[in-house]
């Protein structure tokens, strides 16, 4: 019988010696010390559907006086932009059309049935795309500077005030256009995705709201469904994940080898459910289920693996945070870190605290950071992760579909807090005004943190969804 690991910090070498199979030592040689490498297995499939966009070029005939000037070569300008968009956004299909008047814009709307949205390139004035902007369909307005500016400035602000599904770009940097256009791809993937929600609670109303506002399908599962998947999980495969996690950890403090293997079986069970049900995300009512004796292992290490691999595993069946994580994965290619934030006004900091976090915060192919395997904090049981996250700019946000808004703040990660109280991962970040952030706080406790400054991406996606962006702090 394998000797359990005693409480207290332990080196990876000593822990590997206690593994139930001889594979751990080999895994330690093959796996980078700071990475959780996964064995090859069937993985959930990400959406492959392509966004189809109507590219509307708005301008008068070249004989008309106006901006940019009479006799302007619009045809060359359109050809250039179309070529550049197709090269930069090869994952999106563009169908170009020229519109001069509101009547022509109406005709375009009537003829379109299957497009996912509109990219309206405002090349010159006088011209008119108001019917498209106020159609209720996702529309990106782009000002070709010194060309369509008069139309853009008169239209964009009005459309946002009236909560039309509109985003805008007014920039001389073409990369800003590309970034905004790619938001359509993220939203297309979101609307083609399915999230598993494992809970004993009735959340039918939330399912409808997420489908109506985000296009996201929720597939409801019971605790019994998850436990059945856990029992059916291939234990040999689970052992390989457990050994990879152990090999990658800087240290293991409380959990035994057996506990980590149970966590690995829970991961394989969750992943198999995702594969069978063609989903890209799973949210589990973990605290209620574990406290109530309805699950045998915490999903924390499984969420760690899923989020590292480009999928979403979300705590406490928090659908708002889980949908935020999925959207940000599609928008940025980076995982979200869900947390219960703590504010420290003496240091002008916010501390993002939770018992799970990825260690590939720059995406599945990005760099790795160190991590420890700990018990779950609140009940001192199970296996969880303390991820020692890097410093740098972060964006923290949450979708609130019930109110059609997204709440957001930005910060600079500066330190990992080593404190035994509360959740294991504690990322400290400096904010603009901690007292203001504290006073502004609402929309629940949880937030989702993603590395990088993604305010513009979020604002664009929010506009296309018809959501209001609320900046806190």
Question: Does residue 395 lie in a domain region?
Answer: yes
Instruction: Compute the distance between CA of residue 54 and CA of residue 119 in angstroms, rounded to an integer.
Output: 6
Instruction: Compute the distance between CA of residue 181 and CA of residue 142 in angstroms, rounded to an integer.
Output: 10
Task: Answer yes or no: do 224 and 202 share one domain.
Answer: yes
pLDDT at position 39 is: 57
Q: Which helix (H) or strand (E) holds 426?
A: strand 425-430
Task: Answer yes or no: do 384 and 425 share one domain.
Answer: yes
Question: Does residue 173 lie in a domain region?
Answer: yes
Where a domain ends, among 156, 190, 224?
A: 190
Task: Answer yes or no: do 454 and 370 share one domain.
Answer: yes
Instruction: Compute the distance between CA of residue 68 and CA of residue 136 in angstroms, rounded to an integer.
Output: 29
Task: Answer yes or no: do 226 and 309 share one domain.
Answer: yes
User: CA dist 64 to 13, 73, 104, 152, Å?
Assistant: 77, 12, 17, 19
CB atoms under 10 Å from CB of 432, counted, come to: 13
Digit-coded pLDDT (tens) for 270-279:
999 999 999 9
- Split at pLDDT 50, 70, 90, the class of 23 is very low
Q: Between vectors from CA 219 to CA 214 and to CA 224, what angle results, nearest 5°? A: 150
Helix (H, G, I), strand (E, B) or coil at 241: helix
Question: Does residue 256 lie in a domain region?
Answer: yes
Count of domains for the chain: 2
Digit-coded pLDDT (tens) for 197-254:
999 888 889 889 999 999 999 999 999 999 999 999 999 999 999 999 999 999 999 9
Task: Answer yes or no: do 150 and 216 share one domain.
Answer: no
- Split at pLDDT 50, 70, 90, the class of 114 is confident
- Split at pLDDT 50, 70, 90, the class of 287 is confident
Instruction: Compute the distance between CA of residue 23 and CA of residue 27 in angstroms, rounded to an integer.
Output: 6
Q: How many residues does the chain have?
A: 473
Q: pLDDT at residue 16 above 50?
A: no
Task: Answer yes or no: do 186 and 221 share one domain.
Answer: no
Q: pLDDT at residue 4 above 50?
A: no
Where a domain ends, among 162, 190, 218?
A: 190
pLDDT at position 201 is: 86
Task: Answer yes or no: do 236 and 328 share one domain.
Answer: yes
How is residue 378 written in tokens?
């609140």
Instruction: Compute the distance between CA of residue 84 and CA of residue 78 in angstroms, rounded to an integer.
Output: 10
Digit-coded pLDDT (tens) for 159-178:
999 999 999 999 999 999 99
Residues 249-264, mean pLDDT to the nearest whole number: 97
Lowest mean pLDDT among 163-177, 279-293, 326-340: 279-293
Non-local (6+) Cβ contacts of 300 within 8 A are 263, 286, 315, 355, 356, 376, 382, 383, 384, 385
* Secondary structure E strands in 20-111: 51-58, 92-99
How is residue 202 written in tokens?
């009735």
Residues 405-434, mean pLDDT to the nearest whole number: 97
Question: Does residue 322 lie in a domain region?
Answer: yes
- Split at pLDDT 50, 70, 90, the class of 188 is very high
Question: Does residue 414 lie in a domain region?
Answer: yes
Residues 259-278, mean pLDDT to the nearest whole number: 97
Where a domain ends, among 190, 221, 240?
A: 190
Non-local (6+) Cβ contacts of 54 within 8 A are 95, 97, 108, 112, 115, 117, 118, 119
- Split at pLDDT 50, 70, 90, the class of 40 is low
Residues 106-135, mean pLDDT to the nearest whole number: 96
pLDDT at position 289 is: 82
Question: Does residue 433 lie in a domain region?
Answer: yes
- Split at pLDDT 50, 70, 90, the class of 340 is very high
Task: Answer yes or no: do 381 and 419 share one domain.
Answer: yes
Residues 277-301, mean pLDDT to the nearest whole number: 92
Question: Does residue 425 lie in a domain region?
Answer: yes
Task: Answer yes or no: do 61 and 155 share one domain.
Answer: yes
Task: Answer yes or no: do 179 and 210 share one domain.
Answer: no
DSSP string for 88-144: HTTTEEEEEEEE-SHHHHHHHHHH-SS--EEEEEE-SSS---HHHHTSSS-EEEEE-
- Split at pLDDT 50, 70, 90, the class of 385 is very high
Residues 403-409, mean pLDDT to the nearest whole number: 98
Which pairing describes strands 371-376 and 251-252: parallel, antiparallel, or unpaired? parallel
Q: What percent of the chain has pLDDT over 90?
A: 86
First to last CA, the chain: 55
**CATH code of 371's domain:** 3.20.14
Task: Answer yes or no: do 155 and 206 share one domain.
Answer: no
**CATH code of 83's domain:** 3.40.50.2300
Question: Does residue 46 lie in a domain region?
Answer: no
CB atoms under 10 Å from CB of 445, counted, come to: 12
- Split at pLDDT 50, 70, 90, the class of 143 is very high
Average pLDDT over all residues of the chain: 92
Rg (CA), the chain: 25
Digit-coded pLDDT (tens) for 437-452:
999 999 999 999 999 9
Domain interval for residue 441: 193-471
Task: Answer yes or no: do 276 and 415 share one domain.
Answer: yes
Instruction: Compute the distance between CA of residue 407 and CA of residue 396 in angstroms, rounded to an integer.
Output: 8
Q: pLDDT at residue 56 above 70?
A: yes
Residues 289-297, mean pLDDT to the nearest whole number: 88
């Amino acid at each position: 019988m394998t000797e359990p690991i005693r409480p207290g910090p332990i080196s990876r070498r000593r822990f590997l010696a206690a593994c139930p199979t001889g594979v751990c030592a080999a895994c330690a040689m093959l796996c980078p010390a700071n990475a959780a490498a996964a064995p090859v297995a069937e993985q959930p499939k990400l959406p492959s559907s392509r966004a189809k966009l109507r590219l509307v070029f708005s301008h008068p005939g070249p004989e008309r006086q106006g901006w940019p000037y009479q006799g302007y070569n619009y045809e060359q300008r359109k050809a250039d932009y179309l070529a550049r968009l197709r090269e930069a956004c090869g994952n999106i299909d563009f169908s170009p059309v020229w519109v001069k008047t509101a009547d022509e814009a109406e005709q375009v709307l009537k003829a379109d049935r299957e497009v996912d949205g509109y990219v309206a390139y405002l090349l010159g004035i006088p011209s008119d795309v108001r019917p498209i902007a106020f159609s209720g369909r996702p529309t990106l307005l782009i000002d070709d500077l010194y060309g369509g500016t008069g139309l853009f400035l008169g239209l964009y602000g009005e459309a946002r005030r009236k909560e039309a599904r509109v985003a805008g770009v007014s920039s001389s940097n073409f990369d800003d256009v590309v970034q905004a256009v790619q938001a359509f791809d993220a939203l297309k993937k979101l609307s083609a995705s399915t999230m598993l929600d494992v809970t004993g609670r009735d959340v039918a109303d939330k399912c409808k709201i997420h489908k109506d506002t985000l296009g996201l399908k929720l597939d409801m599962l019971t605790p019994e469904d998850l436990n059945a998947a856990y029992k059916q999980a291939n234990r040999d495969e689970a052992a390989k994940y457990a050994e990879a996690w152990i090999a990658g950890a800087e240290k293991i403090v409380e959990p035994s080898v057996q506990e980590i293997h149970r966590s690995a079986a829970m991961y394989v069970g969750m992943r198999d459910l995702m594969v069978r049900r063609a989903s890209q995300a799973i949210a589990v009512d973990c605290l209620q289920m574990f406290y109530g004796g309805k699950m045998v292992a915490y999903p924390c290490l499984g969420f760690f693996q899923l989020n590292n691999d480009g999928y979403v595993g979300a705590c406490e069946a928090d659908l708002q945070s889980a949908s935020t994580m999925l959207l940000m994965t599609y928008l940025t290619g980076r995982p979200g870190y869900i947390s219960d934030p703590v504010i420290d006004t003496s240091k002008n900091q916010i501390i993002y605290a939770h018992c799970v976090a990825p260690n590939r915060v720059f995406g599945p192919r990005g760099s790795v950071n160190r991590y420890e395997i700990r018990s779950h904090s609140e009940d001192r049981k199970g296996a969880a992760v303390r991820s020692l996250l890097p410093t740098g700019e972060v964006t923290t946000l949450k979708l609130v579909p019930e109110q059609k808004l997204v709440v957001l703040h930005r910060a600079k990660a500066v330190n990992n807090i080593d404190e035994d109280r509360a959740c294991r991962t504690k990322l400290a970040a400096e904010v603009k005004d901690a007292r203001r952030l504290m006073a502004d706080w609402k929309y629940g406790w949880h937030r989702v943190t993603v590395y990088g400054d993604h305010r513009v991406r979020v604002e664009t996606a929010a506009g296309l969804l018809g959501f209001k962006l609320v900046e806190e702090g």
